[in-house]
Amino acid sequence: MMKSQVALLYVLIIMSGGLAQSLKPRRSVFFSDVNLKLFKEPDFDSLSSLLVREDIGLLFIGARGKVIMLRLDDITEKTGETEWTVSSEDKSKCKMKGGSIEHCDNYITMMHTRVDGKILVCGTKAFDPNCTLLMVYKGNVTMENINDKGRWKVPSNPEEKFASMLDGSDLYTAASTKPHGQKVLFQRHGENSMKNEEELFLSSKPNMISIHLAELSKSSEDHEDDNVILFFIENSFEDPRQLQVSRVARVCKSDIGGRSILRNKWTSYLEVSVDCPFGDIGSPSLLQDIFFLRDENNLMNSIFYATFTLNTEPSSTCNQTAVCAYKLSDIRQVFKGNYMATTSSGHWQKYTGEFRSPYPQSCINDEMRQSNIRTSRDFEDIVHRFAKHHPLMEGAVKPITGRPLLVRSAAQFSRIVVDKVTSLDGQQHNVMFISNNSGWLQKAVWSGDDGGRIIEELQLFQDPQPIRFLQLSSRSGQLYSATRTAVAQLSVRDCSRYTSCADCLTARDPYCGWDRLRGLCAAVAGASNLSMIQNLTDGDVGICPNSHWSKIIDIHTTVDVAQFLPCSPDTNLPISWSFSGNILEPGPRHILLSQGLVLTPSFTDEGLYTCETVEVVKGREHRMAVILYNIKVSEGGGNWFQAIIIYILACVCVLCVMFIIYVCWKQKARNLVGSSSESDDTTDLTGSSSKSDDTTVAVRVMIPLQPELKTEPCHCGNSGPKNQDNSSGSGTDKTKSTGRKRGQNLLFKTDL
């Protein structure tokens, strides 16, 4: 009997050895337990754009050959659909250009809301991009019959990345202008159309990320013209190795080009590298997405939140990924630094020559206006000639903390949005929502006191797939995410997963607080301090109402017979065990695992065993009971019923093993008929089995295992927590389950 118990302990110890503690989300919520809404149709497999319209309560989805309208408060309700397809003749022409059957359709890749409420829509139109307008009136959507060529606005290939921004009547785009991305332009379409010098991106093969407007004219002391800021990745043209590097570029909104040099081209274009230091030295961190969080009180304090990865392969699941943040004022300061210039040998180095005042590529400000320089055409040609050959600045933009806010070694971060949340004490907190390429969403915050932490991660899509779009409606507190095949709606103010006051407060979720009147964790938005408590500083649970733990499980066990006591908290926090009020230390009779406790008791081990989660917040330790066991120990001979059951089970297992060996022997003998030497080998094999003193059998034991979400070191394979539910999504609300993780089968061997 003891041999089997020792074997069990050996297997459990091996399993727990690979589950080392590391930085991870506080809680992981699997698909079946996330309270969300899903939209999915049978032929819906090519979502290519997403637009939130809070003013009319609609979510617009751009797909292949159509635009779909969903209710913003419940995306399972489809309100309309308008088709925009291509003719068979257009498809034939597309194939002649080298397009595939799949790509020779009309993918709606861009949607922007105009000032008049109409929606500018652009599609690939069988490798001949086109744009039109959608009009929304009393819930009805119609498409204007116009023919606006979009070749210079969106790429012909729906797989190519591009960036766009609509500012009033001006459309800014950064996209390839030829079918296979041979030529990339950063342009402004409108009354004063502009583009970059064509040689700028000729050899750097840029990958455009996003475009943003910084309205400096409203906040800067010298009333500098507004800046248009572009983030992208390109091959470093100043590095002989041509490594990819992350960049940020800037042009002035009022730039209208030069008089003769750079006519109808940007005269204010400057670019600089963006640094996010993590991973191995020398490994470039590559931009994936940007979110611009504006500070309404001081625009200079506005922050760009960015996701990065060290791997260029989007399908990889085993590379570090990070989030860095950059202040607008820091970016602006770098663009006032030193220029880079090329030498006669073609190398780039710091520019040490002279140039006239005002500073080349500067945006118009009050000082220039006093000197009668009111537009870019008022600069002398020598200034524009310098700008043409000096687009690169020295150095790099550094993150505000000097390091990333978050670093993980899991599925790569893809999209990011940030919500500004006001807590009960009136303080504002920036909550980050970060998607990855396996269908999961991270909810995280960062503070200067304890750094970045992931409050929870949510599995939004059952099948592992990249989340391609992420948009937030701060007004309603709804988050919308989309893959190529489905759209999910999630309430960011859902606090129902915190089941106790202690759990609610120690999570330090800016959205949530404990409602003392209703006795539950609820959203603090609009709540009163009289009925709600919240502590985001240190998660002190001393202000919680008194609560008593009543769930005690009685366990009757036998002396020297190992007993497994499972403990599966609904968080990823480490667990600790106490015995009769004292912390339990590991020993020969107490094997502590991340999933529970293996107890091999003596009579002195009778008593109360408590499993608790342990969470340290700013030096203060918080312990919360998960489950209690009242252990009662009896003599080994007294438990005759258990012995009989184990004996019968062992006999059955021995018979099963003998039967399997017999079947295998028969199959082997049948395959080796006619070969005497091989027949002898078979006889030796079966004979050796019969000579064994002990028979090895397989026994299946159910042990509840808490999923471990490791970040260091990285192990390739699964990119996130293993999905333990096989339920399928639908277009309706999913019923919320208990949240308790299921057990897993453990197969081990024992000698009988």
Q: Do residues 246 and 233 touch, judged by C-beta distance below 8 A?
A: yes
Structural domain contains residue 470: no
One domain for residues 355 and 207 = yes
- Tens of pLDDT, residues 239-288: 777 789 999 999 999 999 999 999 999 999 999 999 999 987 767 899 99
Q: Which residue has the higher pLDDT, 327 or 344?
A: 327
User: What pLDDT shows up at residue 650?
Assistant: 59
Query: Does residue 745 have a pLDDT over 50?
Result: no
Which CATH number does the domain housing residue 223 bear?
A: 2.130.10.10
Query: Does residue 4 have a pLDDT over 50?
Result: no
Structural domain contains residue 132: yes
**Sheet bearing 406-408, strands edge to edge:** 286-293, 303-309, 321-327, 406-408
Q: How far apart are CA 489 and CA 77, in angstroms?
A: 12
Q: What is the number of structural domains in the chain?
A: 4
User: What pLDDT shows up at residue 447?
Assistant: 85
Q: How far apart are CA 179 and CA 185, in angstroms?
A: 13
User: What pLDDT shows up at residue 144?
Assistant: 87
User: What pLDDT shows up at residue 55?
Assistant: 93
One domain for residues 361 and 258 = yes
One domain for residues 224 and 137 = no
One domain for residues 382 and 301 = yes
From the list 284, 285, 324, the residue with the least C-alpha distance to 304 is: 324
Residue 382: DSSP 8-state: H
User: What pLDDT shows up at residue 114?
Assistant: 95
One domain for residues 705 and 625 = no
**577: confidence class by pLDDT, cuts 50, 70, 90:** very high
Query: Does residue 640 have a pLDDT over 60?
Result: no
Strand partners, 443: 433, 456
In percent, the amount of the chain with pLDDT more than 70 equals 80
Last residue of a domain, one of 409, 431, 466: 409
Query: Does residue 22 have a pLDDT over 90?
Result: no
One domain for residues 337 and 229 = yes
- Tens of pLDDT, residues 192-243: 999 998 888 877 889 999 999 999 998 888 899 999 999 999 998 887 777 8
Structural domain contains residue 383: yes
Over residues 373-387, mean pLDDT: 92
Structural domain contains residue 139: yes
**Sheet bearing 270-274, strands edge to edge:** 207-214, 227-235, 244-252, 270-274, 392-397
The parent domain of residue 369 ranges over: 171-179+191-409
SS3 labels along 9-49: HHHHHHHHHCCCCCCCCCCEECHHHCCEEEECCCCCCCCCE
User: What pLDDT shows up at residue 751?
Assistant: 36
Last residue of a domain, one of 386, 409, 432: 409
One domain for residues 660 and 696 = yes
User: What pLDDT shows up at residue 681?
Assistant: 41
Q: Do residues 79 and 61 touch, judged by C-beta distance below 8 A?
A: no
One domain for residues 586 and 722 = no
Over residues 60-85, mean pLDDT: 95
Tokens of 90: 């257009």
Q: How far apart are CA 184 and CA 247, in angstroms?
A: 15
Whether cis (ω within 30° of 0) applies to the bond prior to 360 is: no
One domain for residues 616 and 658 = no
Q: How many CB atoms lie within 10 A of CB 115?
A: 9
Structural domain contains residue 564: yes
Structural domain contains residue 143: yes
Cα-only R_g, the chain: 32
Over residues 443-468, mean pLDDT: 92
- Tens of pLDDT, residues 283-324: 789 999 999 999 999 999 999 999 999 855 555 445 789 999
Q: Which residue has the higher pLDDT, 738 or 274?
A: 274
3-state SS assignment for residue 657: helix
From the list 453, 458, 469, 452, the residue with the least C-alpha distance to 414 is: 469
**416: confidence class by pLDDT, cuts 50, 70, 90:** very high
**75: confidence class by pLDDT, cuts 50, 70, 90:** very high
Query: Does residue 699 have a pLDDT over 90?
Result: no
Lowest mean pLDDT among 196-205, 219-228, 464-473, 642-651: 642-651
**637: confidence class by pLDDT, cuts 50, 70, 90:** low
Strands 58-63 and 66-71: antiparallel
One domain for residues 281 and 404 = yes
Q: Which residues contact 651 (CB under 8 A, 6 or more apart)?
A: none
Residue 289: DSSP 8-state: E
Q: How far apart are CA 721 and CA 34, in angstroms?
A: 14
User: What pLDDT shows up at residue 736?
Assistant: 40
> What is the residue type of 328?
L
One domain for residues 284 and 382 = yes
One domain for residues 102 and 141 = yes
User: What pLDDT shows up at residue 9?
Assistant: 39
Structural domain contains residue 422: no
Query: Does residue 691 have a pLDDT over 90?
Result: no
User: What pLDDT shows up at residue 82?
Assistant: 93
Is the pTM here over 0.85, yes or no? no
Q: How far apart are CA 585 and CA 588, in angstroms?
A: 10
**Sheet bearing 194-195, strands edge to edge:** 163-167, 170-176, 184-189, 194-195
Q: How high is the mean pLDDT of the chain?
A: 82
Q: Do residues 572 and 27 touch, judged by C-beta distance below 8 A?
A: yes
Q: Which residue has the higher pLDDT, 341 or 669?
A: 341
Structural domain contains residue 726: yes
Over residues 612-627, mean pLDDT: 89
User: What pLDDT shows up at residue 669?
Assistant: 55
Q: How many CB atoms lie within 10 A of CB 724?
A: 16
Q: How far apart are CA 655 and CA 653, in angstroms?
A: 5
Q: CA-CA distances (angstroms) from residue 564 to 163, 595, 643, 694?
A: 56, 10, 17, 25
**696: confidence class by pLDDT, cuts 50, 70, 90:** very low
User: What pLDDT shows up at residue 1?
Assistant: 40
- Tens of pLDDT, residues 100-156: 888 899 999 999 999 999 999 999 999 999 999 999 887 788 898 777 887 789 999
Query: Does residue 724 have a pLDDT over 80?
Result: no
**515: confidence class by pLDDT, cuts 50, 70, 90:** very high
User: What pLDDT shows up at residue 354?
Assistant: 81
User: What pLDDT shows up at residue 659?
Assistant: 79
Last residue of a domain, one of 610, 634, 658: 634
3-state SS assignment for residue 423: coil
